[in-house]
Structure 1
Amino acid sequence: MSAQAKKRIVVVGLGAVGALAAWRLSQRDDVEVIGIEQYGKVHDRGSYAGESRVFRTAYHEGGRYVPMLQESRRLWRELEQQSGRELYLEVGALSIAQPDRVEMRTTLDTVREFDLPHTLYDTEELRRAHPQHNVHDGDVGVLDHHGGGIRPEVSLMAALDLAEAAGAQLHFHTPVLAIEEEPGGVVVRTPTEAIRADTVILASGSWSTRLDGRLRDLLRLQVLGLTWFMPTDIAAFLPERFPAFLRDVGPVHFFGAPSLDGYSIKASSNPTWPVARDVDEVPREYTRHELVKIGQQAKEFFPSLNPEPVRSSVHHCAYTPDRTPIVDVSESERVVTVTGLSGHGFKFAPVLGEWAARLATQPGDAGIDPHFSLAAHLDRLATVGPYRGGGH
């Protein structure tokens, strides 16, 4: 197919979904790919930033997501193979809670429904197998063998490098001011030019509300913090001995990953900040009081950790009322929207990128779950109202 006959697709936002969509699109010979990012190539302001993301297939959010996770796992491996970089550390994901916790019950439900490879532990088995944890009386555990950690910055760099190598034109430090449909196409306006396209993929995360007014009432920004702590014996927390983890006790959701830097582990708590309407309202750092509180929680779960964080960072993510991502294409089939990942979207990034690519190239036959459509989200918004915080 000649270059003149190629379909021009502009990807707005080169974070998790945008980078993976650019990679998937760049593998097609009938598409011209242009990517636009307001910051640099792999930056620290996106919801993906922070060294690692927990990956799990035994999913307490429900069985709807398990096929997506299984396909994401396959695509993460494909990205690893194509890039030659280590992205997905399959060290397991260990969930610990009381057996009557809803998170534990739904995790076990997905394990049974999809026959996922796993190990179950009673309290004493947990203490013997995972002595790094302070296991409370009555706690049970499930180790998801396909769980582990994804390295987000490395993953995005791998996807963007592959997209560029395949011919994608990527523009960084280029804010998008507007996306305007016109007869026969779409115009993406930046401070310096108007880029015309056949189709646009809007994948700008927390900034999406600035480019699509329909999202302003639907999305809320949840502030998400990450913290790292030093253990007394780092060898016990290296990937070969320490799986990624999730702990649920009372109102506290604690999660993290093994040491990737050789001296600290990620151990972080669920958000306590109020929701925001715009990125400009989001704090950029913890208060001292917040860090002390999280340090106390870390010490409770892991007695060998020094409770003073050696590193911390604050991020944000766009949440929908029921924490279900938005995956939609406009009536004209010219604007694809993928946003509202609601704090658990990075693990799905390859699938969401693939879905965005499909909607941009074959919208009538993309096979996307209608539960993710914008119309379905707006219906739920009318019933339950916007997200009010407290999720993890």
Structure 2
Amino acid sequence: MLNRRSFLNQSSLLSLSPLIPAFLSQTAQGSAASKDDRILVVIQLDGGNDGLNTVVPFADENYGKYRDKLRIDKKDIIRLNDSLGLPPAMKAAGELFDDNQLAIIPGVGYPNPNRSHFRSMAIWHSARLQSADHTGQGWLGRALDQTKQPGNTAPDAVFAGESALPAAIIGRRTNAIALNNERELILASKLAAPGKPKPDDDLQNFVQSTVSSSYVAAKQFAASVKTQSNDNTRFPNYRLARKLRLIARIIRLGGGTRIFYVSQPGYDTHSAQKYAHERMLTEFSRSLKAFLVDIRQAGLSDRIMVMAFSEFGRRVQENASAGTDHGTSGPVFIAGESVKSGILNDCPSLVDLADGDLKSTIDFRRIYSSLLSDWLNIDATLPLGGKFKPLKVVT
């Protein structure tokens, strides 16, 4: 019979058992996923990122006409080529570009764009344009459904965040979990080790086996934190960086999870955009670089690719509140050692607008198609609801 202390210990560890042993250690149930599988990390720039002040067409005189208060001075631009550049806030991203670890895809969107956060995000998550097809399942969840192996207990996808699981990673059979931070894992490692079950009690044997796996895995994670104590010197003190550091630690431990997802909120800049946008782009680019540096030092950079997107861009013309309103197309970033670095698509015209909005020059599903087929080695037809010519993003 369990006493109160052992019951509380087991209850705490049981509550973590769906996630701890699966991606932190090989449990008694085992994991069918290979540690050598390629991994995709998705960063969602939540709120509608102003693409025009992210990938800046500094050589186009029309840029200055539309952006008076928000215009980035040409002398401050981090030049990517003779016509496009990054704002100074994205210095770290510029260094990745120079190191051939960053691909920039301007003008990404979809037909008949929608300016609603909810509707546009549903389109990006589901890879479906019709609201009737927004069933709560996503393009990555459907893709992982196709590769699900019987007996695989490792989560197929992990969302590093405190909100509900993003629809993008939800499928019918896919095992996706949310993990906000590592504190609960560290706490679990400090609980008392479970005792030995009675040999004739099958239920207690099952509970004890699960608890033991969770306890061992939590101890393993706590030990990994100590051995990776120099993380703080590589990762800046941003919320996004902390989430990416957690993802990096999980990847280092090797549990078979192939998809990681994280969101950076705050891009809905209707007023006083300048400094808020600079802060967010600094956080994004520095956090991304720190993550890639950490992964490279772990010897895992050939397995990792990162995609960053936003549900839409902003209007070309700044508004009267020194901000920008909901627009249409925007840039997507792909990062990693295996990426085809450079600017991979034509930038939208500032002369040929659609009701004051940029016209998209590429469908986002072409990027998805490449990431699925060329990187994850998964047939993209079913997840995307049709065939889309892959944009070459993998070397």
Same fold per superposition (TM over 0.5): no
Could you say which structure has the higher strand fraction? 1
Bucket of the pairwise TM-score, normalised by the shorter protein:
under 0.3
- TM-score between both structures, scaled by the size of structure 2: 0.24
- TM-score between both structures, scaled by the size of structure 1: 0.24
Q: Which has the higher contact order (CA 8 A, sep 6+)?
A: 2
Larger Rg: 2
